[in-house]
Amino acid sequence: MTIIAFLLVLSLLVFVHEFGHFIVAKLTGIKVEEFGFGYPPRILTIARRGGTEYTLNAIPFGGFVRMLGEEDPSHPDSFAAKSKLTRAAALLAGPAMNMLLAIALFAAMFAIGFSAPIEGAGAVIYWVEPDSPAARAGLQVGDTILQIDDVVLQETIDLRECVTRKAGEEITLIVRRGGEVLPTPLRLTPRVNPPEGQGAMGVRYGPPLAKVSYPWWQAILLGFRHVFALLGAMFMFLVEMLRGVMVLEVAGPIGIAQIIGESVKSGLVDLIDRTASLSVSLAIFNLIPFPALDGGRLAFIALEALRRGKRVAPEKEGLIHLVGLAILIGLMLVVSYNDIVRLLSGQPILPP
């Protein structure tokens, strides 16, 4: 299920991205030689229309758009032969479509309904680490801890204070599950030295939750607001990272697959939320001014403008993008190796 969900999500994100390039290229007269579903080797050609081959390829996720003459301006219908504004529009269309997809997904999430924190006593369990004290005691996601020993939890923070104070000692939990208090209290011993990122009990918890939903017109506005809030958070994180306050944690394909798998277990709304966030991340990543990315190609257009129309030689630009692609593949392999090491050691792919 995790592999299927990962392929579906990645296919959606990449397909939408490439469709943005495709539709703007078609509208501006750039010849699109191939629109591929999946990645080569090719299995079959589905159709040939308007000078474009629509192909089905063997690697079953994502897709690609192959435009005529991406570095060669010799043909009038090639990408490189078009004006700077046209080329920039075709490149920006991919990230723009990812942003629109994120807005649509967030809007769907707000319309369907999602769990939001509300005021109330107790602490709700959001996640239980496997083989932790909480897991062995029988705590489940969605349980509400009402009382620890003789302390009634008036606020979520009360749980941390109780558990910290009684680390290494057995504690008794009064738990509500499915609207009813369990007849038998649960018992566990918080760890004094828990694994990094797991906590003494091995849970992630927060305030009580309630389902909240909005009408479609309001959900769309909230989708816009949420995307811009996410962009603001990413920008602030970048600033803090450059200041050395925060460290960048990156997940590769294997890590993303695990994250999506966890979202599937949590339900449709969490999967929609995660997919929308990944779509925003993909848009921002592609705008980084690095060779082979959309941002790298945009950087060459900006350089051309600064040089008053004088271009970098096509063969040189093509070589730079090829080297950039090789570096990106290398980085992906390194990150994937780190993901595998973390999985085998039982560490989380990304901090909770």
Can you list the positions of beta strands (E) in the chain?
A: 32-49, 52-67, 114-117, 123-128, 144-148, 151-152, 171-177, 180-181, 186-188, 203-206, 209-212
User: How many Cα atoms sit within 13 Å of 56 on the Cβ side?
Assistant: 5
Report residue 204: phi and psi, to 5°.
Answer: -110, 135
Q: Which of 18, 34, 129, 317 is catalytic?
A: 18
Residue closest to 79 by CA, chosen among 311, 252, 339: 311
Residue closest to 170 by CA, chosen among 149, 195, 197, 198: 149
The Cα 336–Cα 254 span in angstroms is 6
How distant, in Å, are the alpha carbons of 232, 281, 297 from that of 288? 16, 11, 10
Residue 147, beta-bridge partner list: 152, 174
71 among known catalytic residues: no
Q: Which residues are catalytic?
A: 18
